Amino acid sequence: MKFSDLINEYRKMVNDGDSISVINRFYDNDIVQIENNEPPVTGKNKLLELEKASIEKVYSFDLTITSMVIDEPQQKVMGEMFEGLTVKLAAKRNFTKHLCSTGKRIK
């Protein structure tokens, strides 16, 4: 399989929102993943646990690869992704609409 075929397989999984397959297929067992200002997550199994728990809380999800650097000779890929998601609420809540003016709530 050519390296470009692997990249295309990866992109398809990402575009399909299949993060579990991406982790299983492409992540090393000793991966260290850092997201934003969060502490690093070390190890594929730990990352899979966290990903599965996160998926349970998500209603909708959109992932876009914003940049990708490919080192063909060393067969390495690094990239950045943007995630947009809508999370499920733990319980239904009733919301009352309020208008705001100069910081005061108006009923």
Specify the higher pLDDT residue, 76 or 101: 76
Q: Is residue 105 part of a domain?
A: no
3-state SS record for the chain: CCHHHHHHHHHHHHHCCCHHHHHHHHCCCCCEECCCCCCCEECHHHHHHHHHHHHHCEEEEEEEEEEEEEECCCCEEEEEEEEEEEECCCCCCCCCCCEEECCEEEC
Q: Is residue 101 part of a domain?
A: no
What local confidence, expressed as pLDDT, does residue 16 receive? 83
Range of the domain at 28: 3-89
Total domains, the chain: 1
pLDDT digits (tens, 9 = 90+) for 61-99: 777 778 888 888 887 878 787 777 677 765 444 444 334
Q: Is residue 96 part of a domain?
A: no
CATH code at position 22: 3.10.450.50
Q: Is residue 68 part of a domain?
A: yes
pLDDT digits (tens, 9 = 90+) for 16-65: 888 899 999 989 999 998 877 889 999 999 999 998 988 888 777 777 77
